[in-house]
Amino acid sequence: MSASAGTQAGRPGAALLIGALGVVYGDIGTSPLYTIRAALSGLPAARHEHILGVLSLLFWMLMFVVSLKYVTMILRADNRGEGGTLALMELAVRGLEGRRRWTMVVLGLIGACLFYGDSIITPAISVISAVEGIGVVSHTLDDWVVPVAMALIVGLFAIQSHGTGAMGKLFGPIMLLWFLVLGVLGGWRIVQTPQILHALNPWWAVSFVADAPWTTFILLGALVLALTGAETLYADMGHFGRSAIRRAWFGMVLPSLVLCYFGQGALLLADPAAIKNPFFLLAPEWALWPLVLLATAATVIASQAVISGSFSVTRQAIQLGFWPRMNIMHTSAREEGQIYLPRVNIAMCLAVLALIAVAGSSQALAGAYGFAVTGTMLMTSLLAFRVLPGRSRGMRRTLWLVLLVLFLAFDVLLFTSNTLKIGDGGWVPLVVATCLFTLMVTWKQGRQRIHDTLAGDQPPLREFMQGIEQYPPTRVAGTAVFMSMIVDTVPPALLHNLKHNKVLHEQVVFLTVHSAGVPYVSFSERYRLERLSRSSWQVVARWGFKQEPNVPQLLEQIAHENPELDLEPMQTSYYLSRQTIIVVRKLPLHLRWRRSLFAFMARNASRSTRFFKIPPNRVVEMGMQMEL
């Protein structure tokens, strides 16, 4: 569990609740900007019973999917306090081997890759839908919507390198004001047309489905926009804790959203022409400009949340071995979770700008949005099948299974409804997810192939080092730390050093770094030390998938706890193997292209010295070529 989450004993304080509003609920909190318009614009005529039926469907989807599935149930599937698709995947694969384990891994990777698609579409649709409010103020400003939205996106991504600490202090209060405004505007319209409250009766939803089942099936692809951001509740559990997320949802977010959605329905009952932009037309004319500015601020906050989330997911993928090492910059000296990945930031910025330029409106992006969201929800339900029932017995286990079957059935319904929109923009997150999934699997399998090759070629480490003690080469002062991919085998760097330099340090440490299947590993569990011979030791270190390895810090801890080891920094040298991948040209094309892709990813990975925080002036790299 993260430090912030770990301090949350008992009832969460007001500051924590407001912080959850700013980070967790930005995405789902800006859904009223476009959901009702996207849903009702697809109907041939938004009659009285249609509006009530759609509102009833939307309300009970919020209650079933968000309130029951995510806030009540899925938040229980925590990995030492952490949530998210990859954390759930690590829980699901425990105790599994072979094909069953790989199936769970594939489901987790698909969910993570679809999250990236969501992270690209959310800033685009959120910001452009807010800026479209200037067209409600005056149609002469319509041509400025796309340029202003693109300028805001450029500015948003440009400030990422400075961190979100200062902005984060403003996020909570702004989102608190946003939800209050949603509730007040919606309540004001409901008072004027109170018959909209009939939609709380689920009979209107049942009647709508019975009268037009195919229309309802298609309509689900638009109504799912009200659920966007549900995955964020789970992903951010480690930052704010289960209690704060639940209390913020039921105490503020859910009532405000329901009032706003029903207020838009009330407005449409009174004035069907308001379908052109029912959200901004909720407000009186004098409040339009303040509402546009507030909506723009809220959408920037929603975009910031998914951008930061993409940085966090990328770091987890690196630690779990599904992505090459990348340059990770910390933007806060106190908060470990505030990180910045330059390459990810640039790639996302270009993708979001391209989406806005091509689509031109939030309406055109609505089709692309639902596919990524429902796909991630479906993967979460499938992984939860493996995790949640195993934590209970008897009738409680049966209840879990029944509820999960219902959730899975509804997720399949939502996902298949959104597959109809692949041609209308749903192909965007599909292409993004497919490309990223291919890259992740290629990297994982390529690293495993190198691991197997090295493990098969190298002699056992203990026997080798005990043999050296009997027939020692020339020994030099100091300590040599050999970074090794594989435990209990001789690293290639040692063999190359003995072959070419014919010397060995007085003390030798073999260090292997593993990623644990938990988000955080405490200092007391950080390493395992084993003495191999008179002058050599083996260290197996573990970091959580939300932590970054720091080898000098680890050696300082080992030296403090094991005085017989001399690890004085200026007397310690690091030896690393750097593999150059050579792709065999005689291979068939279907094998060669993936190996060429892996070689390209390996060449562009961040250097080990930077990733492990090793001082560059203390490193000796031994190059070697490997054929794939």
Residue with tokens 């055109």: 364
Give me the mean pLDDT over the 265-284 stretch.
91
Query: What is the b/e burial string over 149-175, where b = at least 16 CB atoms within 10 angstroms of the residue's CB?
Result: bbebbeebbeebeebbeebbeebbebb
pLDDT at 374 over 60: yes
Confidence of residue 487 (pLDDT cuts 50, 70, 90): confident
CB atoms within 10 A of CB 420: 16
pLDDT digits (tens, 9 = 90+) for 525-545: 999 999 999 999 999 999 988
- Adjacent-strand bridge partners of 503: 474
What does the pLDDT average to over 98-116?
A: 90
pLDDT at 5: 43
Looking at residues 217-235, what average pLDDT do you find? 87
pLDDT given at position 331: 67
Q: What's the confidence (pLDDT) of residue 46?
A: 63
Query: From CA 74, how far away is CA 72, in angstroms rounded?
Result: 7
Q: How far apart are CA 286 and CA 542, in angstroms?
A: 59
Res 130: pLDDT: 85
DSSP states of 418-465 as a string? HHTTGGGTTHHHHHHHHHHHHHHHHHHHHHHHHHHHHHHHSPBHHHHH
Q: What percent of the chain stands above pLDDT 90? A: 36
Q: Could you tell me the pTM of the whole model?
A: 0.84
pLDDT at 512: 93
Average pLDDT of the chain?
Answer: 86
pLDDT at 557: 94
User: Residue 2 in contact with residue 190, Cβ under 8 Å?
Assistant: no
Q: Look at 24-28, 58-62, 137-141 and tell me which has the smallest mean pLDDT.
A: 137-141
Residue 164 pLDDT level (bands cut at 50, 70, 90): low
User: Phi-psi category of 284—alpha, beta or left, where left has phi over 0 and alpha has psi -120 to 50?
Assistant: beta
Instruction: Name the pLDDT band for 32 (thresholds 50, 70, 90).
Output: very high
Over residues 562-621, the pLDDT tens digits come to 988 889 989 999 998 887 788 777 777 767 888 889 889 988 888 888 889 999 889 988
| Whole-number pLDDT of residue 240 | 76
Total residues belonging to the chain: 628
pLDDT in tens, 408-457: 999 999 999 988 888 877 888 889 999 999 999 999 998 888 888 777 76
Residue 351 pLDDT: 92
- For the residues of 174-210, what is the DSSP string, one character each? HHHHHHHHHHHHHHHHHHHSGGGGGGGSHHHHHHHHH
Question: Helix (H) and strand (E) counts for the chain?
Answer: 26, 8
**Spatial CB neighbours of 547, under 8 Å, sequence gap ≥ 6:** 319, 336, 519, 520, 521
Over residues 359-380, the mean pLDDT reads 82
Band of pLDDT at residue 6, cut at 50, 70 and 90: very low
* pLDDT tens-digit map of 285-341: 889 899 999 998 888 888 877 888 888 888 888 888 899 988 888 766 555 556 788
Report the distance separating Cα 380 and Cα 477, nearest Å: 54
The phi, psi pair for 622, rounded to 5°, reads: -110, 110
- In whole angstroms, give the CA distance from residue 260 to residue 266: 10
Confidence grade of residue 11 (pLDDT, cut at 50, 70, 90): low
Q: Comparing 10-19, 110-119, 121-130, 141-150, which segment has the lowest mean pLDDT?
A: 10-19
> How large is the average pLDDT for residues 182-199?
95
> Is pLDDT of 12 > 80?
no
Looking at residue 197, its pLDDT comes to 95
Q: How far apart are CA 617 and CA 77, in angstroms?
A: 44
pLDDT band at 346 (very low <50, low <70, confident <90, very high): very high
pLDDT of amino acid 450 = 84
Sign of CA dihedral 562, 563, 565, 568: positive
Q: What is the pLDDT averaged over residues 66-84?
A: 86
Residue 565 CB-density burial (10 A; 0-12 exposed, 13-18 middle, 19+ buried):
middle
